Amino acid sequence: MDPYTSLKLAELAIAFKNKGVIGFDLAGGEYNHPAKDHKDAFDLALKNNLNITIHAGEAYGTESIHQAIHYCGTHRIGHGTRLVEDGDLLNYVNDHRIPLEICIKSNFHTKAVENIQSHPIDFYIDYGLRVTINTDNRTISDTTVTDEYMLAINELGLDYQTVKNVILNGFKSAFLPYKERVRLINQTLKELDEIEESELKTRVTVKESL
């Protein structure tokens, strides 16, 4: 896609802001398609207070992440699988709480990681990055958000508390008004607490019946 087209798409997104459009995204092949080529489109989106997310650091290296942040002003990074290769940039992303939209199965399919077990999501979580779990392309990867969480649990060893934090990260990072995010976080915490309480009661009942 050429810069003229992306600028026209930004204008279209702005025209439908608050009419179903909540953000502006750049996705697709990163190699030889640098995000900075579309700076004018993102500048226009930012001037009109549109949320921005950019596909970066999956098929191409950390330079694509750097461009997404410092040239295009992205609020979230789609993938960021190769962020682990640049410690200084990783610290910047962490310090500025820029969310990573992690898509485990898709990253394996695109060969961004050699296998599921080598995915850096657990490192990112341990490091303190704001990680979210996503599908990327449900039909192509034949996956769901639930499937992605189960991969993280069964293949990468994420425990319950970690999964809970990642779920909350999703709401914290959502392109929604602040009050709506707070409401959803509180609602989710309540539901998770109820699940924990129910699980505890079940364990007690089973133990007493032995």
Active site residue 63: no
Element (H, E) at 52: strand 51-56
Q: How far apart are CA 100 and CA 115, in angstroms?
A: 19
Count the helix, strand and coil residues of the chain and give each as a percent rounded to the nearest 5: 60, 10, 30
Single out the catalytic residue among 58, 114, 148, 197. Answer: 58
Angle, in degrees to the nearest 10, between helices 39-47 and 3-15? 20
Q: Is 58 left (phi over 0), alpha (psi -120 to 50) or beta?
A: alpha
Task: Give the burial string for 160-183 (b: 16+ CB within 10 Å, else e).
Answer: eebbbebbbbbbbbbeeeeeebee
Catalytic residue numbers read 58
